[in-house]
């Protein structure tokens, strides 16, 4: 029935308003932010300052890799609890000119002197969560070097200049970072140098306060001048080893100098016509692909987004995929990981048949994949004007990593070694010069002339979040911004029926899942527990780039500014 309005003025006002709103064309909008669109490059990162630094590098003619390194260097300064030069990185690079996809594993190894016996002789029977014995060689800087040597167009010093500037001049601490920093105060007080570096006035900086890190600026300048040697063979390396020696650790100068990150062949699977790429073990990305293979057996698109059946199927698929990761994934230089078996569609169908749609499984054992013969991280992504793309993730592991800072360096050392097992029979057992099982993973997906580089951080949340993002795009037709924003679940444990659901998932869905045996814990509407992500997309047919940034973080997708005629 038509709306009757007696007052002529109000009738006119109503008519104008309806026309202005485009006949309610946006009433069905399900996302809070619009996708960023540009014919030039785009950088999506968890800090606007970091994304802006990368976009500026693009405007100066830099490759997507140059922008990624510049962005990551700033991220290590402005979000020091999440990432920095003391951590590791992984990257997937799509090279537009050749159509090739490259993977880089820049995760560091344990010191040569580290072993299960070394720790047991100190009375340690299980890997500690932090401290010197969890410190592995930081791989990030060597990763920067490998990426720039292969793809970069700018000097190392150009790419690090924004981070050096902000480290010396200071930056205002953002909302989300301030909260994470505050939560780590007690941990930082456990190490005098960490407290001196990150707790000015004996406390974490508050939202909006200016923070400077001159020690980090000095460390960055050594790399700007000397490349990777400025980190792995110079004063920074000596300070890291001195700290290890003072705390009775095993790190030696040779462990740093001889380290090298590794180019790897990305692993992939297909899902609803998309090809999805992840980094191979020692990372957990294989779990995302395994989940997708299992999920492909369900009509998720027909069931609807975050339906009872859809969520139940994905949660159960997560349990099956992660059980295999925990059992089989390790450094492939030391253990034979059945990658092809885990990723086979036939194996996925067998795992799929174990899912009872009426009841949650609270005790999921690993499967037996065929063997052929013979939560703290930052993610960023870049697409440049030529269509080169970088999916880039970097981390200290826990907040401020090990909680240790080598004197005068300005960055926390990671605690990635905490993921080793002290069970000598396990594939992920601690061995000198071995890389631990890793949680951080970048991703890329492609179909036809479209490429999407994406990632969602958060420890063991990552693979399950990747699978949900892919499903949002492939099953539910969401754009990349909506796919990032959509309500997610996360199951942080490997056993049990516990699962976290964001509050935007309807109560009737949560109630029905509980009836099936899921032990539901409700989160906020945009919860950090399900991680924050970034994404960029390239439509090669149209020559248009798209960017998206998760509202669960402080970040933004920032387009490259147009060329400045005065620069020519």
Positions annotated as catalytic residues are 377
Its sign, for the CA torsion 36, 40, 41, 47, is: negative
Task: Answer whether 41's CB lies under 8 Å from 55's CB.
Answer: yes
CA–CA separation, 142 vs 256, rounded Å? 10
3-state secondary structure of 435: coil
Terminus-to-terminus CA distance in the chain, angstroms? 63
Strand pairing class (267-271; 443-447)? unpaired
Strand pairing class (498-501; 519-522)? parallel
Dihedral, 140, 142, 144, 147 alpha carbons, nearest 10: -130
Q: In 3D, which of 163, 201, 165, 186 has the Cα closest to residue 80?
A: 163
3-state secondary structure of 432: coil
Q: Is 543 left (phi over 0), alpha (psi -120 to 50) or beta?
A: left
Dihedral, 172, 529, 476, 366 alpha carbons, nearest 10: 140
Q: Is 551 left (phi over 0), alpha (psi -120 to 50) or beta?
A: alpha
Task: Answer whether 48's CB lies under 8 Å from 78's CB.
Answer: no
Kindly report the backbone phi and psi dihedral angles of residue 276, in degrees, each rounded to the nearest multiple of 5, phi listed first: -115, 125
CA–CA separation, 129 vs 54, rounded Å? 33
Q: CA distances (Å), 154 to each of 1, 54, 66, 227, 267, in order?
A: 64, 12, 7, 13, 29
Q: Which helix (H) or strand (E) is 310 found in, with range?
A: helix 308-328
Q: Which helix (H) or strand (E) is 535 found in, with range?
A: strand 533-539
CA–CA separation, 291 vs 532, rounded Å? 20
Look up residue 561 and give its two tokens. Answer: 């500014």
**510-519: which pairs have CB atoms within 8 A and are 24 or more residues apart?**
512/308, 513/308, 513/311, 513/312, 513/315, 513/360, 516/308, 516/312, 516/358, 516/359, 516/360, 517/359, 517/360, 517/362, 518/312, 518/315, 518/360
């Amino acid at each position: 029935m038509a709306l009757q309005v007696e007052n002529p003025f109000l009738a006119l006002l109503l008519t104008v308003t309806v026309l202005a709103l485009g006949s309610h064309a946006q009433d069905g909008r399900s996302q809070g932010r619009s996708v960023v669109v540009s014919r030039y490059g785009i950088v999506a990162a968890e800090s606007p300052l970091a994304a802006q630094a990368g976009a500026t590098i693009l405007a100066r003619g830099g490759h997507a890799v140059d922008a990624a390194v510049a962005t990551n260097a700033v991220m290590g300064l402005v979000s020091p609890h999440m990432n920095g030069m003391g951590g590791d990185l992984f990257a997937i690079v799509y090279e537009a000119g050749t159509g090739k996809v490259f993977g880089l594993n820049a995760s560091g190894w344990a010191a040569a002197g580290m072993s299960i016996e070394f720790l047991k002789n100190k009375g340690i029977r299980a890997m500690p969560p932090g401290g010197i014995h969890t410190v592995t060689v930081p791989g990030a800087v060597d990763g920067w070097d490998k990426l720039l040597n292969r793809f970069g167009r700018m000097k190392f010093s150009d790419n690090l200049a924004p981070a050096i500037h902000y480290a010396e001049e200071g930056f205002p601490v953002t909302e989300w970072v301030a909260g994470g920093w505050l939560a780590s105060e007690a941990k930082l007080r456990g190490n005098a140098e960490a407290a001196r570096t990150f707790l000015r006035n004996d406390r974490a900086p508050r939202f909006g306060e200016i923070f400077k890190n001159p020690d980090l600026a000095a460390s960055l300048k050594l790399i700007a001048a000397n490349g990777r040697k400025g980190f792995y063979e110079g004063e920074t390396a000596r300070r890291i080893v001195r700290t290890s020696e003072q705390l009775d650790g095993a790190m030696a100068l040779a462990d740093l100098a001889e380290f090298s990150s590794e180019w790897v062949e990305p692993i992939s699977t297909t899902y609803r016509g998309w090809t999805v790429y992840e980094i191979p073990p020692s990372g957990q990305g294989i779990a995302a692909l395994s989940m997708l293979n299992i999920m492909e057996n369900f009509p998720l698109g027909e069931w609807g987004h975050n339906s009872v059946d859809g969520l139940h199927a994905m949660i159960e698929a997560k349990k099956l995929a992660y059980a295999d990761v925990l059992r089989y994934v390790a450094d492939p230089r030391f253990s034979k990981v059945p990658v092809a078996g885990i990723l086979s569609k036939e194996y996925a169908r067998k795992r799929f048949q174990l899912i009872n749609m009426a009841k949650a499984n609270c005790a999921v054992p690993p499967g037996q994949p065929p063997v052929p013969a013979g939560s703290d991280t930052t993610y960023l992504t870049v697409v440049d004007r030529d269509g080169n793309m970088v999916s880039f993730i970097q981390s200290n592991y826990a907040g401020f990593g090990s909680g240790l800072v080598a004197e005068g360096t300005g960055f926390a050392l990671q605690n990635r070694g905490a993921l080793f097992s002290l069970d000598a029979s396990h594939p992920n057992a601690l061995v000198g010069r071995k890389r631990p099982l890793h949680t951080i993973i970048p991703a890329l997906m492609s179909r036809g002339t479209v490429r999407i580089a994406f990632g969602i951080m958060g420890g063991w949340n990552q693979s399950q979040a990747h699978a949900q993002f892919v499903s949002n795009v492939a099953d539910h037709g969401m754009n990349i911004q909506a796919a990032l924003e959509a309500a997610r679940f996360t199951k942080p444990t490997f056993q049990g029926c516990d699962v976290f659901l964001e509050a935007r998932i309807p109560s009737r869905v949560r109630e029905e899942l509980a009836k099936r045996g899921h032990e539901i814990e409700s989160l906020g509407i945009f919860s950090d527990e399900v991680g924050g992500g970034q994404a960029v997309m390239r439509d090669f047919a149209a020559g248009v780039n798209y960017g998206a940034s998760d509202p669960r973080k402080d970040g933004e997708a920032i387009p490259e500014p147009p060329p400045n005629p005065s620069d020519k």
